[in-house]
Amino acid sequence: RVECVVRMPIGASLRTLLSRAPRRASPRLARRRETPGKVRSPAPRRASSTPRVSSSEEGTDGADTPREPGGISHAELSPPSWPAAMGRIVREDVAHQRYLTVFDREVEFDIPGESAPARINYDIVGHPRSRFQFSVVFPFHPRDASDPRPTVTLIREYMQGSNAMGYSLPTGSFDPKKHADFADVAVDELAEEARLRGGKMTSLLSREDHPGFLESKWCANRFKPFVCVGPESYEGGGGGTAVDDEPPKRDAEEFSITVHRVSLEELAEIMDGGDMTPPSVVTSHMALAHLAKEGML
């Protein structure tokens, strides 16, 4: 269960799984949610997946409500409350917008012992164009004749927040113009960032209607975790064409990405090292627990 995984210490949980995992032939992974039919191919990329909004592109919604290209207002895309709202949102303005949006939100609370409601202002960060959701995928390579150890593919790239390099799993935002669901996002990011395709894609959420895990306390974005068992490398070198044997071209800001195939022991050290993104750490825990349950470790 998810709560059991989250409570386990990072390094200890993985090492415990490794020590307890039975060493036997890997059965086929029983999927909770499997892409039907043939393996999905990455969706064709647009010239720009996140167009910038300038004042000339914005419309108004009666008053001064800024609108996304295509006529979607920020009021319609304001950060959601789940599973239930606690405070009363009395005001929410867009303070800044580029790739991410910063919302200036004023919330009213009834506080026990106070005669009048209290109003508190918050900065909320999120990605309205992706409906505040993204996918993270754990690419798992079972042991085989060529490699007796199971391995995992990670990417290492520039992290703008720390101005340093760091590790993550393939991760990407939901694009309602391109993706039918979050498994589509996982397939695309597996191809674009990790240069992998195929395999079995499994959702690690127990409920289809679950919106995903919060990225952080002050961020409205949520992520949905996946595991992909047995993906294969592209044969081509990645020229960015639409040919099936070429992976998609990466975005300009992904220039620093390098792909790393690591053992589970190396993964444990990276997860303990402090330079792996929290959504990737959580997804790794969930994927490893799922794989151990299926006898694949």
What's residue 20's pLDDT?
Answer: 56
Return the CATH number at 262: 3.90.79.10
Residue 40 maps to a domain: no
- Cβ-count burial 76-97 (b if 16+ within 10 Å, e if not): ebbbeeeeeeebeeeebebeeb
> What whole-number percentage of the chain has pLDDT above 70?
69
Q: Which residues partner with 203 through β-bridges?
A: 226
- Residue that finishes a domain, picked among 128, 145, 174: 128
pLDDT digits (tens, 9 = 90+) for 250-277: 888 888 999 999 999 999 999 999 999 9
107-115: long-range contacts (C-beta < 8 A, 24 or more apart)? none
Q: What one-character-per-residue DSSP string does 252-270 give?
A: GGGTT-EEEEEEHHHHHHH
Asked if residue 193 and residue 145 are part of one domain, the reply reads: yes
Asked if residue 136 and residue 123 are part of one domain, the reply reads: no
**What is the overall mean pLDDT for the chain?**
78
What's residue 85's pLDDT?
Answer: 86
What's residue 209's pLDDT?
Answer: 84
pLDDT band at 43 (very low <50, low <70, confident <90, very high): low
What's residue 12's pLDDT?
Answer: 53
pLDDT band at 156 (very low <50, low <70, confident <90, very high): very high
Q: Among 107, 280, 75, which Cα is nearest to 194's?
A: 280
**Residue 154's domain spans which residues?**
2-16+130-293
Give, as one character, the DSSP assignment of residue 211: -
Asked if residue 175 and residue 82 are part of one domain, the reply reads: no
Region 41-60 average pLDDT: 37
Region 101-119 average pLDDT: 94
What is the dihedral sign for C-alpha 184, 188, 189, 191? positive
C-alpha distances out from residue 137 to 22, 104, 203, Å: 24, 32, 9
Region 148-153 average pLDDT: 95
- pLDDT value at 103 more than 60: yes
Residue 117 maps to a domain: yes
Residue 32 maps to a domain: no
Asked if residue 178 and residue 78 are part of one domain, the reply reads: no
Task: Report d(CA 268, CA 187) in Å as an integer.
Answer: 25
